[in-house]
């Protein structure tokens, strides 16, 4: 059955890089996740569009992913098709300090590209290990900056396979959300960012300073999906967890980082059940101690084993 669908997909999108039964642990920064029935990595935006249209026309469920750096995939894996965007990595200059970026461009590559042109406004994103698509989807942010401040237009494909463009406020950016978190069936193709002319040396300094802060405060040597919980209004998740004496707490090989209590790390061979068990322990302990509900920032997808 899955092999049949793969053959049909290859007839519709010849040359597509596609695999069956592909472990999602290979495609998430947590290094966790059971197999996807079908996984593919389009090489061009046209291939991406044709793949989405194929899945839509055949009624095959699909999940779009970027670098898998904000994902926790359950141990039973993903039924249907996973479409990974990381080969869609072209950047082009447009007029008036605008750059156009395909959805699979890594944020760090984008920041380096902007820096080379002395464009300022994106330094905050240096070191966030996601793609532009993932960052627009959830309005990624750090150190006072967020995607909202520079995204001006985004092309996307809807669930019927039609292409549209969002402009300005239509993105509906908010804390870790956007039009796309409200419409997860839509796929971001490319986005246009408006930046400002700046001083290359100052931009470089700012990037190194922010990277230094990341390295000093985050457990970057371990697989993780970054801050596991959203920031509750009026609090910091990491402080609540630390004040609940949960640093170093474990379920199997999932561990509340000693270095940054807001991170759950994969300290060995953790599976998704380990992380979910630890997540629930953290949520119930913080609720009991401080009466605060912690909501995961990480997207939890796929099926139980």
Ligand X SMILES: Cc1cc2nc3c(=O)[nH]c(=O)nc-3n(C[C@H](O)[C@H](O)[C@H](O)COP(=O)(O)OP(=O)(O)OC[C@H]3O[C@@H](n4cnc5c(N)ncnc54)[C@H](O)[C@@H]3O)c2cc1C
Three-state DSSP state, 220: coil
220 vs 277, which CB is nearer to ligand X?
220
Under 8 Å CB-to-CB from 3, ≥6 apart: which residues? 20
CB of 301 to ligand X, least distance (A): 7
**Does the footprint of ligand X cover residue 128 (CB under 6 A)?**
yes
Q: Which of 32, 38, 55, 71 binds ligand X (CB under 6 A)?
A: 71
Taking the least distance from each CB to ligand X, the nearer of 54 and 180 is: 180
Closest CA to 271 of 3, 32, 29: 32
Nearer to ligand X, 46 or 201 (CB): 46
> For the chain, what is the total number of helices (H) and then of strands (E)?
8, 19
d(CA 80, CA 78): 6
Binding part of the chain for ligand X, among 3-11, 91-99, 130-138, 191-199 by CB under 6 A, reads 130-138
Question: Own/partner pairs for 13-16, CB < 8 Å, 24+ apart?
Answer: 13/42, 13/47, 13/50, 13/51, 13/54, 15/43, 15/47, 16/40, 16/42, 16/43, 16/47, 16/51
Q: Is position 131 an interface residue for ligand X (rule: CB under 6 A)?
A: yes
The interface region with ligand X, picked from 112-120, 129-137, 165-173, 203-211 by CB under 6 A, is 129-137
Residue 268 DSSP class: S
How many Å from the N-terminal Cα to the C-terminal Cα in the chain?
20
The span of 31-39, 166-174, 216-224, 232-240 binding ligand X (CB under 6 A) equals: 216-224
Give the tokens for residue 48.
Answer: 């991406």
- If one asks whether residue 238 binds ligand X (CB under 6 A), the answer comes out as no
What does the per-residue mask of binding to ligand X show for 4-43, with x meaning CB under 6 A? -------------------------x--------------
Interface stretch with ligand X, choices 15-23, 164-172, 224-232, 239-247 (CB under 6 A)? 224-232
Q: What are the tokens at 135?
A: 């960052």
Q: Which residues bind ligand X (CB under 6 A)?
A: 29, 64-71, 85, 103, 128-131, 133-135, 137-138, 140-142, 180, 187-188, 218, 220, 224-226, 299
């Amino acid at each position: 059955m899955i092999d049949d669908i793969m053959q049909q997909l290859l007839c519709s999108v010849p040359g597509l890089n596609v695999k069956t039964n592909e472990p999602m642990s290979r495609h998430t920064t947590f290094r966790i996740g059971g197999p996807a029935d079908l996984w593919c990595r389009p090489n061009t935006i046209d291939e991406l569009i044709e793949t989405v249209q194929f899945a839509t026309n055949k009624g095959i469920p699909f999940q779009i992913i970027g670098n898998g750096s904000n994902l926790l995939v359950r141990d039973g894996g993903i039924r249907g098709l996973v479409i990974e965007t990381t080969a869609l990595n072209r950047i082009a200059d447009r007029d008036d300090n605008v750059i156009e970026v395909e959805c699979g461009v890594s944020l760090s590559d984008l920041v380096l590209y902007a820096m080379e042109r002395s464009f300022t406004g994106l330094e905050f994103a240096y070191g966030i290990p996601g793609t532009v698509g993932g960052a627009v989807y959830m309005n990624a942010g750090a150190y006072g900056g967020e995607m909202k401040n520079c995204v001006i237009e985004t092309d996307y494909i809807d669930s019927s396979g039609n292409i549209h463009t969002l402009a300005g406020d239509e993105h509906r950016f908010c804390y870790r959300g956007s039009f796309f978190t409200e419409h997860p069936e839509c796929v971001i193709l490319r986005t246009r960012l408006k930046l400002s002319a700046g001083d290359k040396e100052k931009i470089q300094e700012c990037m190194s300073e922010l990277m230094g802060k990341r390295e000093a405060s985050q457990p970057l040597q371990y697989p993780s999906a970054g801050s596991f919980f959203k920031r509750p209004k009026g609090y910091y998740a990491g402080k609540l967890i630390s004040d609940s004496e949960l640093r170093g707490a474990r379920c199997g090989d999932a561990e509340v980082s000693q270095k940054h209590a807001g991170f759950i790390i994969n300290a060995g061979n953790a599976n998704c059940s380990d992380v979910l068990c630890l997540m629930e322990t953290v949520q119930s302990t913080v609720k009991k101690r401080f009466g605060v509900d912690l909501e995961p920032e990480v997207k939890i997808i796929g099926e139980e084993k």
